[in-house]
Amino acid sequence: MRENTYSILHISDLHKRDEDDYDNLLQSMKEDCEKYVLKYNLTKPKIIIVSGDIVKGGKPEEISSQYDQASEFLNNLTEFFLENDKTRIIIVPGNHDVDWNKSKISMRKQDKTEKVLDKIKNDPQIRWSWDELCLYRIIDEDMYNSRMNSFIAFYNNFYSGIRSYSKEPKEQYQIYDIPNLNIACVAYNSCYRNDHLNWAGCIHPSCITKSSDELVYLHKKGRLLVGVWHHHTSGLPKENNYLDYRILKTMIDKNIQIGLFGHQHLCNIVNEYKNVIDDKRILLIGAGTLYGDRNSLPPNTQRQYNIIVIQYNETDINCKFLIREDKSQAFEIPMWDEGKIEGTLSSSWSTSLIKPKQPDIEIVLNQIIVETEKNNNIDSAIEQLIKMDTSNSLVRKILLEYLDKKKYNNLIYQYYGLPENNTEAIFLMEAVSELGDKEIIGKVLSIPFISENQDVAVKEQRRHLDFLVKDKKYGTN
């Protein structure tokens, strides 16, 4: 069922000290959830965005331990907020997730040359060391790319078969489509070419290009598109650790309306416009550090995280941003309350976004049916239907017919576990009968729509399930 209002938990830059305990952080966030849910009349966040810097870094054995602790924390966070649904937690790497031990091994010092500036500008393999005042060259590209391996291992272990992260830089992006919330997030690695001598953020151009077709497709399906990466897009004159802002124009062209990032360790919100003529924009939202110590906090800034409320209206999308700030002064146990958006006295802010045109469901369904009959590919049709609004009666009807044809009884139980009409109830009972699990049958029989239904066909199927439950041989090997 598609939801019109929901919230997103946006965290970044965990940076936990060795002496800090994730259990304290988790408990503080649970308690804070009760406060803002009550105050702003919300439900618990339905999506979690983690925009980089999962670990602090260090020696290989320290990095491994840090990822293990972070993984346990994020698992617990997913259990509390998302009922263990990892399809709704989005994670990207940050510069602290880049293993400098590997990038150092991959480079060799170069002979001095008078054309230092030309080399730095024109050769992507060249780095300049200010400490040694000399050039380094990447001579082992495989070793250089392996600087992401610890993050990749953490990511693949965390998602355990649900998702996997590529070792190829040009493939380091993920698209998370969440149909029932009518939103899709594209997660980019902004640490392409980032290492111990190059602190700037960069996204591989191929990641933008390769994600384009699916983003166009999702925009046509009416999804709100959100980009997620780590680095901020502007900095002070002497800084060199931010992402080239010109990439934002490309994202705007892809109809990405919100960009979520971290890295600066403070919360800020900026509108970035493509131009003044067509007024297209991307709303940039930075999150503060979630668990950093005093040394990692900018002056007069505390630990922070964001709650982003999305509300679909008839003609637009309203976005409200709530800032949560630690009032404990970086104590071991955070004490969250309203914070301030950077440069303002406000703890919240609202704006309107363009609501993507919602597709005509009947036209889309007809296209799926014609395509299925032409190619005889029911699995493709099922995959498309599941991504649609499964609360729509026509979608439910066609999806049920295809699931029954393929005898995907587990999916029938998953999507029709609360039947909306007698036909769905009968198909559901037939499906669980074939599954042969008495516990599942018992749950289905206890559904009020089935247990209290007086339709002749439903009553007959109910009697059949009652008989199976009582049959001692049924459901045993």
Could you read off the pLDDT of 144-159 as tens digits, one per residue? 999 999 999 999 999 9
Three-class secondary structure of residue 191 per DSSP: strand
> Are residues 371 and 250 part of one domain?
no
Put the strands of the sheet holding 107-109 in their side by side order.
107-109, 134-138, 126-129
Q: What is the DSSP letter of 95?
A: G
Q: Which phi and psi angles does 324 have, rounded to 5°?
A: -110, 135
- Please give the distance of CA 346 from its chain centroid, rounded to a whole number: 27
- Quick one: 463 exposed, middle or buried, by C-beta within 10 A (0-12, 13-18, 19+)? exposed
- For residue 385, the domain's CATH number is 1.25.40
Q: Are residues 373 and 293 in the same domain?
A: no
Quick one: which of 263, 256, 350, 273 has its CA closest to 307? 350
Q: Is there a domain that residue 109 lies in? A: no
As a whole number of angstroms, the distance between CA 451 and CA 441 comes to 12
Residues in the chain: 477
Query: How many whole angstroms separate alpha carbon 332 and alpha carbon 118?
Result: 48
Same domain, yes or no: 203 and 270:
yes
Q: Percent of the chain beyond pLDDT 70?
A: 95
Of residues 290 and 292, more confidently modeled: 290
Residue 417 is part of which domain span?
A: 361-470
Half-sphere exposure of 357 (CA within 13 A, CB side): 5
Burial of 345 (0-12, 13-18, 19+ CB in 10 A): exposed
Give the whole-angstrom CA distance, residue 101 versus residue 50: 24
Distance between CA atoms of 342 and 266, rounded to whole angstroms?
A: 7
Has residue 426 been placed in a domain? yes
Shared domain check, 191 and 321: yes
16-20, 250-254, 368-372: least confident range: 16-20
Question: How does residue 116 score in pLDDT terms, banded at 50, 70 and 90?
Answer: low
Half-sphere exposure of 53 (CA within 13 A, CB side): 25
Cα separation, 215 vs 91, in Å, equals 18
pLDDT at 277 over 60: yes
CATH of the domain at 167: 3.60.21.10
Q: What is the pLDDT of residues 63-107, one digit of tens each?
A: 999 999 999 999 999 999 999 999 999 999 999 999 999 999 999
Does some domain include residue 222? yes
Residues 38 and 86 in one domain: yes
- Asked if 370 and 345 sit in the same domain, the reply is no
